[in-house]
Structure formats: structure tokens, C-alpha cells
Amino acid sequence: MEKKSKIGLCCLCNSAKPALKRPKTLQQICRECFYAVFEEEIHNVIVENQLFRPGERVAIGASGGKDSTVLAYVLSKLNQRHNYDLDLFLLSVDEGITGYRDDSLETVKRNEIQYGLPLKVVSYKDLYGWTMDEIVKMIGLKNNCTFCGVFRRQALDRGAAMLKVDKLVTGHNADDIAETVLLNILRGDIARLPELLLKASFVSFAGIYSPNAYRGFAREFIKDLERIRPRAILDIIKSGENFRISTSTKMPEQGTCERCGYISSQVILSLVKIGAKGPKMLIFECLCREAQKWCKACVLLEGLNRGLPKLGIGRSRGPHSSTKEVKHINGAKEVQGKPCGDLDF
């Protein structure tokens, strides 16, 4: 029988003052009880879903932010407490943003010492030959998030390959997941929701170059909803989990880029239009033939290296788009948006 809590005290230990009210359970609990419940819930999820096997090498995506820091701390603690027998590593990405990323990397280096976990840092400069500062100088502020997001996801994949790990884990809070649900609905990309909610493969990030990023507007909207109804964030996540994709919908398939050899969830059959005929158009047509099975990162990088930074930016996929081919002057083809499919409720 559940013990009745005293008025003004934690409903679990009945001795300390409540520090918070959990939106998930509406319980008013103290700081120490929250730590204990939080860690136990994570352990239960790991065990029930068999997320790890003894002896596995696991990389923790570490940005220096609160989510990844909590993940590193809790996973390290549970690994010792419950004897998961995991080899844990910290993996960080240095995008090359002066005055921003260098500060957070110092936090990651402190975590390396505090938790006794080996640290691997991979940088855009080493992997791609460009820093985000250099990319922004070329592309401007409007489309830089495309480069940063695509390059960061692949940088994590490449860093994980360097460490020869079996799994890569990243930390996300409920706000991140709710934002992703809304963003994919607004973009007409609902077919990817089950994959994103299951793997949490997206990396939420807002740097100094993303004041007007699309995700920021979704975040602001969600926080407005939360002020009106505290459970709104959890309800959005639950709605995303309850979506059912039509069996006739073609889901994204994971492939391998023929150029870099790393995984890709899309095949680039051609690139965006450049404009009128001329030297740039000829380069574009040549790239269309070369990039038959390139990943998005390779397409963006090729555009940067050839002085065509907008190559590969933009998409026409949406709920009302259809698949069609457009022939260019020398027969190269551009495949435009595919329908994402219907929902079964």
C-alpha cells in the first residue's frame, strides 16, 4: 500500500521538501528522490529493451551541453552499478565555431577526467577541410544549418568508426523529441517519424549561426504550449509514437555512399539547378553524372570545393509533391520530391 505523503513534503521519502513536480507522473518529489527515480527508470529501459550486450564498445556523443553531460554521467554510473560490462568512450565534434564550440569542448575535457572515459574529438577541418566559420563566410547565414547538420551526423558516424564501437548513443530531452515530431509533420516527412523516435538519430543543436533556424520556431511554439498545459510536450511525443504509416509507403532505406563509403539514408540522383547555361551549368551537369549514389555530405562538400556552395541545398519533397524527371541540356536527370505516404490512424 502506497504511503500517504505529508503536506509540503516529498511524496516518496516523506522527509524532504519537494524540489519539482514531474509532468510525467505529477508527483512532487525532492532532489535526491528525483535522482534515484531518474536513474532507475533509465536502467529499466536499458534492461527491458536489451539496448546493450556485455563487452560492447559504446561511444557517447558529447557536446558539452547538459543533455550529453547527464547521459555520460548516468551511463557511466549505471555501467558500474549494474555491471553492464561496457567499454565507454566520449565522442565530440568540433565544428570550428570560434568562441562557441571551443568553450563547450573544455567541458567535455573535464568530463573525460571526472568520469574516467577516453575522449575522441573529430573536427570538420580534419574531415572535410572546412570549418563552420569558413562555410558561413561562403554560404551566408541562410542555409548554413544544412551544412552543419549533415556534416555533424556524418562526423559522428566517422568518429564511431575510428573508435571501432558497436553503438553510438546521444542524449536528448523531451523538448528535442517533441520538436522533431512537429518538424517532420510540418515538412511532410512523417514517414521518417518511427525511425527518428526509435533511434533519436537527429542531433539537436543551436549555435551562434542559427538564430532563425526552423527548429527554433518549433521550440518557441512548444514552450508556449507548455506554459498553457504542462503535459503538452509529452502528449506530442505520444502522438508521434502512435502514428502508423501506410503499408504502401516506401520508407527511407539505409545505403552506402559510393564516394565516401559511409552510410546514407538517401541516394542523390542529381543536384539542384544552378541557372543559365555556362561554365557553372557544365560543372553541374558533370556532377549530375558523377553523383549518382552520393550521400548528402559528399554533395554539399563537392559544392564547397568547386565554389558552388548552394549545390545540393533545397528540397521539393512535400505532402503534395510527386516524382518526376526533368531532363537537362545533355540528358542528365533530376529527380524531384517523392510523396511521403499516407497515415493510418
pLDDT in tens, 160-176: 999 999 999 999 888 88
**Quick one: 135 exposed, middle or buried, by C-beta within 10 A (0-12, 13-18, 19+)?**
buried
Which H or E run includes 157? helix 144-163
Which pLDDT does position 129 carry in this prediction? 95
In sequence order, what E strands does 116-248 have?
119-123, 167-169, 244-245
Per-range mean pLDDT, top range of 79-83, 137-141, 196-200, 242-246: 79-83
Q: Is 99 helix (H, G, I), strand (E, B) or coil?
A: coil
Share of the chain above pLDDT 70, in %: 72
Supply φ then ψ for residue 27, to 5 degrees: -80, 140
DSSP class of 4: P
Q: How confident is the model at residue 322 (pLDDT cuts 50, 70, 90)?
A: very low
| Angstrom distance (rounded) from CA 127 to CA 125 | 6
How confident is the model over 97-134, as pLDDT tens digits? 888 888 889 999 999 999 999 999 999 999 999 999 99
Half-sphere exposure of 320 (CA within 13 A, CB side): 0
Three cell numbers, residue 196: 527518428
* Burial status of residue 187 (CB atoms within 10 A of its CB: 0-12, 13-18, 19 or more): middle
The single residue listed with the C-alpha cell 549561426 is 209
User: Mean pLDDT across the chain, nearest whole number?
Assistant: 78
- What is the reported pLDDT for 339? 34
pLDDT, one tens digit per residue, over 135-156 is 999 888 777 888 888 999 999 9
Reported as type and span, the H/E element at residue 240 is helix 232-242
SS3 94: strand
Spatial CA neighbour of 17 closest among 3, 2, 33, 1: 33
Q: Give the pLDDT mean for 216-225.
A: 85
Lowest-pLDDT range of 3-12, 95-104, 112-121, 175-184: 3-12
Report CA-CA distances (Å) from 114 to 39, 163, 170, 171.
18, 20, 19, 18
273 closest CA partner among 309, 311, 300, 308: 311
Whether residue 274 is predicted with pLDDT greater than 80 in this model: the reply is: no
Q: How far is CA 169 from CA 140, 201, 247, in A?
A: 32, 9, 29
How does strand 343-344 pair with strand 333-335?
A: unpaired
Residue pointed to by grid coordinates 509540503: 8
Query: Rounded to 5 degrees, what are φ and ψ at 256?
Result: -125, 130
**SS3 label, residue 225:** helix
User: Is-contact 226 232, C-beta < 8 A?
Assistant: yes
- Answer for the pair 202, 192: CB distance below 8 angstroms, yes or no: no
Strands (E), the chain: 20-21, 28-29, 57-61, 87-94, 119-123, 167-169, 244-245, 255-256, 263-264, 325-327, 333-335, 343-344
Smallest Cα–Cα separation from 337: which of 197, 189, 192?
189
- For 21-30, 160-169, 256-265, which range has the lowest pLDDT when averaged over its residues? 256-265
pLDDT of residue 265: 64
